[in-house]
Amino acid sequence: MILVQQPLVRMENIHKSFPGVKALDNGQLELRAGEVHALVGENGAGKSTLMKILTGIYIPDAGKIYYKGNEVQLTSPRSALDLGISIIHQEFNLVPHLTVAQNIFIGREPRKHRFMLDERKINLQTQELLDTLNIDLDPKAKVMDLAVAAQQMVEIAKAVSYNSEVLVMDEPTAALADNEIEQLFAIIRRLKSKGVGIIYISHRLEELKQISDRISVLRDGAYIDTVETKETDVSKIISMMVGRELYEDFSDEPVQVSGEVVLEVRNMTRKDGRTKDVSFTLHKGEILGFAGLLGAGRTEVARALFGADVLASGEIYLRGERVNISSPADAARFGIGYLSEDRRHLGLALGLDVTSNVGITNYDDFKSRLGWVKSKELKGSVSSLVDVLNIKTPSIDQRVANLSGGNQQKTVIAKWLLRDCDILIFDEPTRGIDVGAKHEIYKLLNDLAAEGKSIIMISSDLPEVLRMSHRVIVMCEGRITGELSRKEASQETIMSYATAH
Amino acid sequence: MSTELTKRRESLMKAESRQKLLAFSSLLVMIIIFSLASPNFATFSNFVGILLSTAVVGILATGVTFIIITGGIDLSIGTVMTFCSVIAGVMITFWGLPVWVGVIGAVLSGMMAGLINGLLISKLRLPAFIATLGMQMIAAGLNLVISGSRPIYFLHEPRFRLIAMGTLFGIPYSVFLFFGLAIVASIVLGRTVFGRYTYSIGSNEEATRLSGINVDRWKIGVYVLGGFFYGVAGVVMASRLNSAQPALGVGYELEAIAAVVIGGASLSGGSGTILGTIIGAFIMSVLTNGLRILSIPQEWQTVVIGSIVILAVYTDIIRRRKD
């Protein structure tokens, strides 16, 4: 008997260009039945493009795709689904106004009398599906009412329900808590044992050790190599992904933080009750980490401090003086900048160019008496910030939508630096950003702090919190449950406070 | 997690039915106030008048409800409706064709206009606002060209007038037609695949496309369906006036859209119901009728209706914010 297994999917020499960008230049992938094949690479390496080609969303310029040994043409999402290839998208592709069950069965609803929907059957089959996957959700709940993690579970259930032989998961754990990740892994293992081939994209390299069998690396649109997970380690993978030296900062020397209190928050309670009695101080030149589980109220503290949401009670002092911040415009005037966790929706106007995005907080400084924008001066300032922050963009007239995640994040930073803010709130500064850009952001945070800016950094990435913070505040269910010095902080101590109800 | 989830869902359902209740009860309150204010309001003949005057806008609004739920808009409603009246006039009066042929011709021309709107929006990717604004002007112009800028009367065909004005138990046929169409539309929207994709496209078009659904085709279908309703409304309108009035039309689109919005649909798509639209249409016609009976000048009637639209949408926004 010949033991050479026919691969489930083989993609060869895939090329794909978009106007001005070569997204894929010799993309390759081989997926076997019953394996979890991790696909890694920096943002912009071409992972998502390769997967969109495999699922019929994009049509390649050149290259061949074989499914079970036969060459196939994938011209639409439908054609891929019909072959048995489905995908869990990174950005949720659910219909918010429909229910869980309606979302799962969209496009293939059970019908009565040809045109009529069989709603009972849709709900029943969804309940069965959710039961087999061990997911605790109501099929009749509207997706718009679900938390992000629950929406992710709906996405997973939907993809699984196609009974596909190939399942692509693009960053499936980005929104999940640890126990939910365990649940997802259990689902993956079950599918694997049934012979399903799974392509697993993730930035969390530690995770790949646990779940994947092989790892393929893409860089700058090109295929680099495929390795057995067992025979490799994280640092090897990173060097294949990055192909360059990383900024490292393992300085354990005590950081010089001045005693000057820049900001003090006393007894902050939001009107909606999502923060309760929150008090803390922030020093000049300090990076204050905010840790906690999803929904602990960290973003809510930031938004209330920034004047974006309403407080029921509490006081805010800036350099000892009591201030009243009732809108983001107030906050910006006091020199507080907020970099939202959802930069694509809340931090940037994607359709506009770099100059407009950076300038938006600062037009007061760049307008003549009659209200004309002094565009030459604005562009000069923006250009110098682009240089300082090392934002990779062909020009400052480039639309922000065309930049990579890391460079978009830097554009948001530039916006607040131009404003000359000295208190910066970073909400998940590196979410969805690749390893290389992550390190640049870290360096930037350190540089800003060294210059005397004060930084609040909200992060769900514990290694990041530990590495960057001078002090860590831990929240749980709207309250501060712990405050740790850099020395006291460890994954264990943070987690114990984060779960201290 | 699941108990918290169910709780939220319950409160949401409460909110949804609360909104419908609110619209319906404000309609009732209006009727009660007008009845107390004038003895001429709560009479059978006046109610028939209200029903009759709601029929045309109601049919138009029912058609555009589908379009608005997909997140689209249609500004060609009024002039396309008139276009259908004119076509009926041309076929029946000028060409001497039988009434039923004229009616089918009118409805088909409405669907044709819808098809063109749909193609412009889905295939050429024109914004719905622009495509249908263009269609509005094209239809307005064609109405004058085809009719020679003169009304076309249906004097040779007395049966044509029966479509709208013939009565059963004293209630005009057009009212039955309106309710019949509304019930069918409600079933199509709530129970069929077509309705499901209408909501789905409005709620998240990209997700719908990625689920393997041919979004373009369904979108075109929604505009064609809208055109069908405008065609029927055109026939009813012509029959009521016993003539096709080529200069008529502009203004109806905004009344129809207002009815949909008062009925709780969101212009950003994904939500709305036929029942809501019908209630919205009645709120407007009861208000117009009541104010007229109270001898409030017509100019002021428009002011009041405009305020009602703003008020209705604002209460909806407040309701959502509370949730």
pLDDT tens readout for residues A350-360:
778 888 888 77
Domain count, chain A: 2
CB contact under 8 A, A106 and B213: yes
DSSP string, A72-103: ----SHHHHHHHTEEEE-SS----TTSBHHHH
Last-in-domain residue among A242, A270, A286: A242
pLDDT of A78 above 90: no
Q: What is the pLDDT of residue A146?
A: 84
Residues of B in contact with A117 (CB under 8 A): 191-193, 195-196
Shortest distance between the Cα of B308 and any Cα of chain A, in A, equals 26
User: Which residue matches tokens 């089918």?
Assistant: B104
Same domain, A463 and A501: yes
- pLDDT band for position B17 (cuts 50, 70, 90): low
| Chain B CB contacts of A108 below 8 Å | 212
What's A310's domain CATH number? 3.40.50.300
Domain annotation covers residue A220: yes
In a domain, A215, yes or no: yes
Per-residue pLDDT, A272: 80
Dump pLDDT digits (tens) for A367-419: 777 777 777 777 787 888 888 777 877 777 788 887 777 788 888 888 877 77
B287-314 average pLDDT score = 85
Its domain, for residue A199, covers: 9-242
Looking at residue A19, what is its pLDDT? 66
Verify that A265 and A235 share a domain, yes or no: no
CA separation for the pair A191, A169 (Å, rounded): 13
Interface test with A, best of B10, B184, B193 (most A CBs within 10 A): B193
pLDDT tens digit string along A198-233? 999 887 777 888 889 999 998 878 898 898 988 888
- How many residues are listed for chain B in this entry? 323
Q: Which residues of B touch A76 (CB under 8 A)?
A: 212
Contact A94 B204 (CB under 8 A): yes
The verdict on A310 touching B (C-beta cutoff 8 Å) is no
The answer to whether residue A137 neighbours chain B at the CB level (below 8 Å) is yes
Residues A224 and A293 in one domain: no
Give the mean model confidence (pLDDT) for residues A84-111: 86
pLDDT at B9 over 50: no
Q: How far is B51 from chain A (nearest CA, A)?
A: 30
Which site among A48, A55, A97 would you substitute to test the B interface, given the most B Cβ atoms closer than 10 Å to its Cβ?
A97
With both helix axes pointing from N to C terminus, report the angle between B173-191 and B158-165 in degrees, rounded to the nearest 10: 60
- Which residue of chain B is at minimal alpha-carbon distance from A158? B211
Inter-chain contact A137–B2, Cβ cutoff 8 Å?
Answer: yes
Residue B1 banded pLDDT, cuts 50, 70, 90:
very low
A147 shares its domain with A277: no
pLDDT at B46 over 70: yes
Q: What is the pLDDT of residue B7?
A: 46
How close does chain B come to A461, measured CA to CA in Å? 23
A266 and A149 both lie in a single domain? no
CB A16 within 8 A of CB A24: yes
Q: Which of the two residues, A429 and B128, has the higher pLDDT score?
A: B128
For CA atoms A159, A160, A163, A164, the dihedral sign is: positive
What residues contact B32, with CB distance under 8 A and at least 6 apart? none
Residue-level pLDDT at B63: 96
In this structure, the dihedral spanned by the alpha carbons of residues B31, B279, B128 and A19, taken in order and rounded to 10 degrees, is 130
Residue B106: name the closest of B205, B219, B229 by CA: B229
Give a yes or no: residue A384 inside a domain: no
Neighbours of A268 (CB within 10 A): 22
| Residue A19: how many other CB atoms lie within 10 Å | 5
Q: Are A226 and A321 within one domain? A: no
The whole-angstrom distance between B212's CA and the closest CA on chain A is: 4
Tell me whether residue A383 is in a domain. no
Q: Half-sphere exposure of A143 toward its Cβ, with a 13 Å CA cutoff?
A: 24
The identity of residue A469, as a single letter, is: S
Beta carbons of A266 and A317 less than 8 angstroms apart = yes
Is the Cα dihedral A188, A189, A193, A198 positive or negative? positive
- Note whether residue A401 is domain-resident: no
Q: Degrees (nearest 5) of the Cα angle B134, B137, B139?
A: 105
Highest mean pLDDT among A476-480, B134-138, B204-208: B134-138
Q: Is residue A394 part of a domain?
A: no
Residues A204 and A81 in one domain: yes
Interval A450-464 mean pLDDT: 87
Residue B5 pLDDT: 45
Are A97 and B209 inside 8 Å of each other by CB?
no
- List the single best residue of A95, A100, A161, A271 to mutate versus B (max B Cβ within 10 A): A95
| pLDDT score for A135 | 84
CB contact under 8 A, B212 and A140: no
- Position B271 scores a pLDDT of 87
Report yes or no: B64 and B226 within 8 Å, Cβ to Cβ: yes
Residue in B108, B110, B105 with CA at minimum distance from that of residue B139: B110
Number of other residues whose CB lies within 10 A of the CB of residue A120: 10
Using an 8 Å CB-CB cutoff, list residues of chain B that contact chain A. 1-2, 5-6, 8-9, 12, 191-196, 199-200, 202-204, 206-214, 270-271
Write down the mean pLDDT value for chain B. Answer: 88
User: What pLDDT score was predicted for residue B110?
Assistant: 96
Statement: residue B304 has pLDDT above 50: yes
Instruction: Determine contact, residues B135/B223, Cβ cutoff 8 Å.
Output: no
In chain A, residues with a C-beta closer than 8 Å to the C-beta of B193 are 109, 111, 115, 117
Q: Are residues A95 and A237 in the same domain?
A: yes
The first and second tokens of residue A10, run together, are 């083989």
* Residues A176, A69 share a domain: yes
Spatial neighbors of A175 by CB under 8 A, at least 6 apart, are: A148, A149, A151, A152, A294
Which chain A residue shows the shortest CA-CA distance from B1? A136
Angstrom distance (rounded) from CA B133 to CA B135 = 5
The pLDDT of residue A194: 86
pLDDT at B322: 56
CA distance A238 to chain B (A): 32
Burial track A479-499 (b if 16+ CB lie within 10 A, e otherwise) = bbbbbbebeebeeebbbebbe
Q: Are A98 and B5 inside 8 Å of each other by CB? A: no
Rounded to whole angstroms, the Cα distance separating A204 from A187 reads 18
Q: Do A106 and B2 touch (CB under 8 A)?
A: no
User: What is the β-pairing status of strands B152-153 and A166-170?
Assistant: unpaired
Instruction: Give yes or no for residue A302 having a pLDDT over 80.
Output: yes
Question: Could you give all domains of chain B from N- to C-terminal order, each with its CATH number?
Answer: 41-322 (1.10.3470)
DSSP B192: B
Same domain, A38 and A141: yes
State how far the alpha carbon of B158 is from the alpha carbons of A182, B10, B92, in Å.
76, 55, 11
- Integer CA distances (angstroms), A94 to A99, A159, B193, B304, in order: 10, 11, 17, 40
Q: Smallest Cα–Cα separation from A473: which of A454, A492, A463, A486?
A: A486
Q: Is residue A73 located within the same domain as residue A166?
A: yes
Contact B5 A140 (CB under 8 A): no
Task: Identify residue A316 by its one-letter amino acid code.
Answer: I
The nearest CA of chain A is from the CA of B191 a distance in Å of 6
**Residue A426 host element (H or E):** strand A423-427
- % of chain A with per-residue pLDDT over 90: 18
Q: At A20, is the pLDDT very low, low, confident or very high (cuts 50, 70, 90)? A: low
Q: What is the mean pLDDT of residues B90-114?
A: 93
For residue B94, with 0-12 CB atoms within 10 Å meaning exposed, 13-18 middle and 19 or more buried, which class applies? exposed
AA identity, residue A217: V
- Which residue in A58, A48, A25 sits closest to A224, CA to CA? A25
Q: Which residue has the tokens 């740790």?
A: A484
- Judged by a CB distance cut-off of 8 A, whether residue A102 touches chain B is yes
Nearest CB partner across the interface for A57, out of B192, B195, B210 = B210
CA distances from B77 to A77, B180, B251, B269 (A): 34, 20, 9, 18
Q: Region B143-168: what's the mean pLDDT? A: 89
Asked whether residue A184 carries a pLDDT value surpassing 50, the answer given is: yes
Contact partners, residue A481, CB within 8 Å, separation at least 6: A474, A475, A497, A498, A500
| A87, A106, A153, A162, best to mutate vs chain B, most B CBs in 10 Å | A106
Instruction: For residue A342, tell me if it sits in a domain.
Output: no
Q: Which of B5, B203, B204 sits opposite A138 (nearest CB)?
A: B5
Q: A98 touching B, CB under 8 A?
A: yes
Is-contact A405 A434, C-beta < 8 A? yes
3-state DSSP of B195-220: HHHHHHHHHCHHHHHHCCCCHHHHHH
Of the pLDDT bands very low, low, confident and very high (cuts 50, 70, 90), residue A310 is: confident
A308 and A159 belong to one structural domain: no
Chain A residues touching B3 at Cβ < 8 A: none
**Structural domain includes residue A251:** no
Beta bridge pairs of residue A288: A456, A471
* Closest alpha carbon to B255 in B306, B215, B297: B306
A461, A464, A468, A474 alpha-carbon torsion, rounded to 10°: 30
Strands B243-244 and B171-172: unpaired
pLDDT at residue B16, rounded to an integer: 55
Answer yes or no: do B5 and A150 touch at CB < 8 A.
yes
Mutation target for A interface from B69, B200, B225: give the one with most A CBs within 10 A: B200
Q: Minimal CA–CA distance to A154: which of A100, A75, A85?
A: A100
Of A93, A119, A136, the CB nearest to B206: A93
